[in-house]
A and B are shown apart, each in its own frame.
Chain A
Amino acid sequence: MKLHSPQFERSLRNKIRREAKDSKTLKRELKAGGRLGGRSPWKAFGRLTLSAGFAFLVWKTLQSGGTTAALALVTLWGLAFFGIVTSRILSNLYGSADAAAFSVLPVGSETIFRWELLRSLRASLWLLLDFFCCYGVCALYIDSAFIWALVVPAAVLNWLMVFALALLAVACQPNRPYILLPLFILGGGFLLLVLGDHINFEIILNILKSVAPALNLVVPTGWVPSLFEGSIQKQLLTCFLLTFLVATTLWSIQPTRKRLLQQYIFPELNPLPGENNGAEAAGYDPDDLVMELDLDRHNVNLAEIEKVIASREFLFSPPMNQSVLERILWKWLNPRERVLFEYLFPDELNLMARWTKVFRNTAIAVALIGITALLSGRGIALWIGVAGLFITLCQSIVLMNWYGRAFEKHAFSGVIIPAYAAHGIGLHEVNRVLTKLAALQIPFFAIYSFIGTAGFFLFVKHPGVELLPTAIKVTGLLLATRCFFLFFAISGGTNDTSRFRVASLVLMGMVVAVTLAFIGIGSVALLATGAPAWISWGIAVNLPWIFLRFYIWCHNRTAFDLMSVPQEF
């Protein structure tokens, strides 16, 4: 689908070139414009390297762990990208930067919907390449003409499956934190690769081999890999069942698309709605808005408004239901920080209620593990434990990294700038408020870490003597990751790494080095005992903090722009 005529654009481009031919200045400006609009080859190179790296990992797993384990990697890869594709569809459909353009063009909602959906589909084409590489590697390993013939259909089916699942997620559960899936799967995978030598790669491989058959069947992104394996092993019944499941999921694309289209409200009223996309998310009904706009403004009771202003009521935030935590925080903050806190978190925080929810979910997970272990054995209990801990860990990390509206994005003459920069607030001030908020929650987070570590210890039958020190270490390390999250949140609103220059390369190098050092030293802290472990822990906990301080110092020294410059600038 194209909103323009390529033929017309081509002829226009040729005419412009001809026009600029006689003027050196125009030619130079045209060339510069072309360079600005061009896509960075480094991004493509980076993505290709990722595909190749993953294919290599699959190849190594094929050699040492067999086809099922290798296909389990494809399943996990698909699951991670399911999170990415879902997030992208959500942001394209409900928070697209094209909003301003579409709002003034004679384009219907259906066209906008199709356009944004196709944009998401096109962006996921790299995933198709990943699957081609993976199945190609499998075919190369097995080396049979039949398997080679399966590579293309398997890759295409797998890609479509991910897209179909993403569409279903957008239609049925749009408010889940899908972006955490790739963060944990790819981040965890990277961690295991780095730590492979220290924690014995064989153990990881054995775990993967043991869970691979169940994983490929239970996780929907594993159905195509399972079908591929079933075809290799000529398991007709399995193939038939999986074909049915895959076909049903793919069939759902059309009805889901129609359902989404029917509910589609393009957020043209709010060009950059940030996280609260669309009319519904903004908390108002579009019909009410129309009625409101129809009101005769002169019927408004001006005396009433004057009274509100004169009473100074509007200058103060509406009273909130504060739990004990909020009241403690309020006392802890100084007057300026209170102002910023009200700005960052205009709605009720309900910290107590949120942590209660985390602990409730943890308790449910623990109960389920116990019941399943009694009824079905440790295998399934392990999976329930992993899933339960994953969900509750996500919830607790989200609470510890809650930034309110600090890094919401605002448009400013063709670029996007973070909210705090738009409102004349210092990053160090924001950081102080957010740090106090996180510090207040440390006891809850520590209790959660203790429960999680205890669960892990019970499962692996580790001696309980080390429980408390390990829980303390885990809490410290997880809290230190907050610095990375905060760095990425700040960096997302800047152009610190978007330009190919020495400073950007140095910064990227530092991020990689600090991350690797944190992982390495943190692992030593967890695996070693005695003084070396605690010294490593101290270093690992402080390293990200020192890095973040340095980054904020660079920010304050105006080392980079507080704006992300769009490609088309």
Chain B
Amino acid sequence: MKIEFRGVTKSYKSVRALDHLSLEIEPGQIVGLLGPNGAGKTTFIRCISGIAAPDKGAVYMDGQEFRRDRMDLRQRMYLLPDFPFHFFDQTVLRNIAITLRLYNADGEGAENRVLQLLKEFDMLPLALRPVHSLSRGQSYKAALVAMIAIDCDLWLLDEPFASGMDPLGIAAFKRHARAAADRGRTIIYSTQLLDVAERFADRVCVIHRGAIHAFDSLERLRDRATDKSNVLAELFQQLQEART
């Protein structure tokens, strides 16, 4: 799914979270959103998912303006926040089943997909546990299993690498995300971990004070950087210097 931001501005009272932001994300890309705290990363994700309403401008998906009643577009995206939306008194399996059903993805073969994913994320022993009894990382994995099983065109993830997942879960997520991107899915995630973004993103988008400071592939950013081994750290250093 191709995502376009056309002059999107979003303010919270006097704070401008997104400032005339325009960019295009092509399908089949993994985009890492970076930026200091409060830079506008989560607002960026909220605007795509329809939770936040841009004050100006609009978000386009495959060339069509996104609106909340465009269920055809909404059914093609899945939002996974830092603390996943679960029904805490229900089991992991029930939560997955609810999500699959809402996205009309519980047809033939869904059970095999879910089973395989539960095994990969080491969640099978916990499948019949209520979500309230899980740790944060396990709860995140449960939501991730549902998201991967649905296999939407657009994956939106807020801080997946600060979700408490163990290395096994993170590796499984990366593997599936890469495979999904190869199938043409668009994956957008926010993170504060520069080394992760350097290794796991086709394009990096650095947001600062609601504006795009850099949006390019790591190779190109590296070409422009003076310190080739610490491209993103250098970008952040520039932001800090400009601020003070």
Contacts and interface: CB of A to CB of B under 8 A. Distances in A.
Given A302-B125, A423-B99, 16 more contacts: A35-B13, A36-B15, A289-B132, A293-B133, A305-B128, A308-B127, A308-B128, A315-B110, A339-B104, A405-B87, A412-B82, A427-B68, A427-B69, A557-B67, A562-B68, A569-B12
Contacts of B88: 269-270, 273, 282
B12 A413 contact: no
Contact of B101 (A289, A305, A343, A419): A343
Contacts of B69: 426-428, 556
B216 interface: no
Given A23-B244, A302-B125, A315 B101 contact: yes
Given A271-B83, A424-B103, A310 B111 contact: yes
Interface string B223-244: 0000000000000000000011
A98 to B, nearest CB: 16
A300 B13 contact: no
Question: Most chain-A CB neighbours within 10 Å: which of B68, B74, B82?
Answer: B68
Given A305-B128, A413-B42, A314 B93 contact: yes
A422 B79 contact: yes
A9 interface: no
A469 B85 CA distance: 48
Nearest to A336: B104
B196 interface: no
A312 B68 contact: no
Given A563-B51, A569-B12, A424 B118 contact: no
A341 to B, nearest CB: 11
Interface string A393-429: 0000000000001000011110001010111111111
Contacts of B112: 310
A11 interface: no
Given A413-B158, A419-B85, A569-B12, A562 B97 contact: no
Nearest to B98: A343
B207 interface: no
A295 to B, nearest CB: 9
A561 B54 CA distance: 8
A340 B126 CA distance: 26
23 contacts: A23-B244, A292-B129, A297-B125, A297-B126, A300-B125, A309-B127, A310-B115, A312-B110, A314-B96, A316-B97, A339-B101, A339-B102, A343-B101, A343-B102, A412-B82, A413-B42, A417-B51, A421-B50, A426-B69, A555-B68, A557-B67, A558-B50, A561-B51
B93 A308 contact: yes
Given A298-B125, A419-B85, A425-B102, A556 B97 contact: no
A276 interface: yes
Contact of B111 (A276, A315, A421, A565): A315
Contact of B106 (A282, A315, A410, A421): A315
A424 B74 contact: yes
B64 interface: no
A287 interface: no
A417 B83 CA distance: 12
Given A36-B13, A413-B158, A560 B53 contact: yes
B241 to A, nearest CB: 11
B85 A423 contact: yes
B51 A424 contact: no
Nearest to A339: B101
A415 to B, nearest CB: 8
B71 interface: yes
Interface in B61-101: 66-69, 71, 74-75, 77-79, 81-83, 85, 87-90, 93-94, 96-101
A499 B12 CA distance: 9
B81 A413 contact: yes
Nearest to A302: B124
Contacts of B52: 561-563
Contact of B244 (A25, A276, A340, A412): A25
Contacts of A428: 69
Interface residues of B, number: 59
B13 A499 contact: yes
A35 B98 contact: no
B99 to A, nearest CB: 7
B213 interface: no
Contact of A270 (B118, B132, B243): B132
Q: Which 7 A-B pairs have the closest CB atoms?
A: A556-B69, A422-B85, A314-B93, A558-B53, A300-B125, A297-B125, A413-B42
B106 A558 contact: no
Question: Most chain-B CB neighbours within 10 Å: which of A292, A306, A413, A565?
Answer: A413
B83 A412 contact: yes
B114 interface: yes
Nearest to B108: A312
Nearest to B114: A309
Nearest to A411: B83
A309 B111 contact: yes
Contacts of A499: 13
B23 to A, nearest CB: 19
B3 to A, nearest CB: 16
A183 interface: no
A80 B58 CA distance: 45
Contacts of B67: 556-558
A426 B51 contact: no
Interface string B118-146: 10000011111110110000000000000
A284 interface: yes
Nearest to A408: B87
Interface in B171-215: none
A297 B92 CA distance: 14
Nearest to B86: A410
